[in-house]
Amino acid sequence: MSDGPPSVPFTLVDWVHVPNERTPGATGDSFWRTVQLPDVRLRIVEYPAGYLADHWCERGHVLHLLEGVVAIEFVGADEQQLQPGMTCRLTPGHAHRLRTLGAQTAVALIVD
């Protein structure tokens, strides 16, 4: 037994200090703030109005929309729209891509 307080695994991210990297899309450029931890990648991503991803992704994600409106398009399935405050889980192995809807920049927290 230890005499001191238990050790708690804890990671604090101050997003203000995470560099913003431009990532080109098919239309528009997204801006990623990325933190790579040993077991998970965390991102705050800004998608401008008129943005469309330049590829179909098959990686699994959890996406929580903070601002704006987006559509998640799927190969062989109906697209889904997300409003601020909504969260979706994108299952690995199922092709999807994101596009913004409306005139506002969309901002998402993505965990993968």
The series of mean pLDDT values per 10 residues for the chain, 112 residues long, is 65 95 97 95 98 96 98 94 97 95 97 96
Give 40-111's CATH code, choosing from 3.90.1300.10, 3.40.50.150, 2.60.120.10, 1.10.760.10: 2.60.120.10
3-state secondary structure of 31: strand
The pLDDT of residue 8:
73
3-state secondary structure of 38: coil
Give every strand in the sheet of 77-82, ordered side by side: 77-82, 69-74, 96-101
The pLDDT of residue 1:
44
The pLDDT of residue 9:
79
